[in-house]
Amino acid sequence: MELFWYIVLMTMLAVYVILDGYDFGAGIIHLFFAKTEKDKKAITNSIGPFWDANEVWLIATGGVLFFAFPTLYASSFSGFYLPLMMILWLLIFRAIGLELRGQVHNAMWEAIWDKAFGISSLLLALFFGVALGNIVRGVNLGIVTEGVSTQEAHYFFLPLWNPTFSPQAEHLGILDWFTVLLGIIGVVSLTIHGANWIIFKTNSDLNEKLKTVIFRLNFVLLALVIISLSVWHVIEPKPFQNFLSTPWLWIFPLLTFIGLFGLFNVKKFKRDGLGFLFSSVFLFGGLTTTVASIFPKVLPSTNDINPSLTIYNVAADEYGLSVGIYWFVIAIVLVAIYMIIQYRVFKGKMDDVGYGEH
């Protein structure tokens, strides 16, 4: 039962990354490449009807985490309290940047909210990549100091960074060279993803330029992925152990590289949606490869005193997990109906939607 809910949780997280990921990427494109009012409108029109629904997947994922793995929920939300509050404020500023921009037709007012939308999107992409890096690297569970656990075995708390900026320090921070590397990968990959979405959903004058941006950024992404794989052994001595013991798991890295190499053909695609498909495959493959590499751990311990948190020692009672399946089936059917209707209503190009105009 724990495995079922873990798969549900990771699937919902992957859906969130793919759907809200293109919103973040569109915001980054808006920040750096949208120079005219027409370009800005094209970008906001492409995500306007979708962005708030996409963020519901984050809330739903948090709900499943709270229900199915309450110990992990309690540990993570206290230990990562500082970055979680920062992410919350960034989500707020990103939302009000979209909603308030069109309330007053003044150049300074619009510029402020354009920056709020773009910078928040950039930092959210960075922080979600950093979050994944923290999960792969692990944390000092129990806050062990000089071989003595000073707190409960599942408790930890991380400052924003530690003085050494090292992922191997006894007292870790949210930011170190490894987590920042994954954060940069998050920014680059979501920028590509967002650009593909804009190409898919608009006939913007930006589209040809964005294809060139995607092509160039893909070389950067490939280099960053190779670097991350080469330094992974610094964090985990046997990073590919699960793949060697369970060969079918290689499908996830395979999907990652199919998506990555497919994007090099972005200028040749005859259908606008193919780029978005390949970037979605890359994101799905990258996320699943990462979580598969540490399974069954969900939060590794960096010390030898307290054990890592796994899907088995953080899960709720078996009875509760069983009963929850019935409610989950009802919920997923309702969500599927909603998503199908939404994407049918807003299928095709979104140039004339006029989102945010008042």
Q: Which band of pLDDT confidence, cut at 50, 70 and 90, is reported for residue 189?
A: very high
What's the pLDDT score for residue 322?
Answer: 86
Q: Which residue has the tokens 């969500």?
A: 335
Give the number of other Cβ atoms within 10 Å of residue 128's Cβ: 23
Span 240-264, pLDDT tens digits: 888 888 889 999 999 999 999 999 9
Q: Name which of 40, 42, 37 is nearest 351 in CA terms.
A: 42
Sign for the CA dihedral angle at 223, 217, 257, 293 comes to positive
State percent of the chain over pLDDT 70: 98
Give how far Cα 169 sits from Cα of 20, 177, 231, Å.
33, 12, 16
> Is 339's pLDDT higher than 70?
yes
Task: Give the up-direction half-sphere exposure of residue 270: CA atoms within 13 A in the CB hemisphere.
Answer: 0
The DSSP symbol for 318 reads: H
Q: Please say whether the beta carbons of 155 and 105 come within 8 A.
A: no
Lowest mean pLDDT among 195-209, 218-232, 344-358: 344-358
Report yes or no on whether pTM surpasses 0.95.
no
Span 306-331, pLDDT tens digits: 888 999 988 888 888 888 888 888 98
- 3-class secondary-structure state, position 148: strand
Average pLDDT, rounded, for the chain: 88
The DSSP symbol for 139 reads: B
Span 104-153, pLDDT tens digits: 787 888 888 889 999 999 999 999 999 999 998 888 888 888 777 778 88
CA distance 215 to 140: 40
Span 218-231, pLDDT tens digits: 999 999 999 998 88
Q: Please say whether the beta carbons of 231 and 181 come within 8 A.
A: yes
- 3-class secondary-structure state, position 267: coil
Total residue count of the chain as it appears in this document:
358
What's the pLDDT score for residue 261?
Answer: 93
Give the number of other Cβ atoms within 10 Å of residue 242's Cβ: 15
Where do the structural domains in the chain lie, given as residue ranges?
2-218+296-345
The alpha carbon torsion through 259, 255, 244, 236 (nearest 10 deg) reads 50
In terms of pLDDT, which residue wins out, 357 or 155? Answer: 155
Residue 309: which H helix or E strand, with range? Answer: strand 309-310
**Across residues 279-292, what is the average pLDDT?**
93
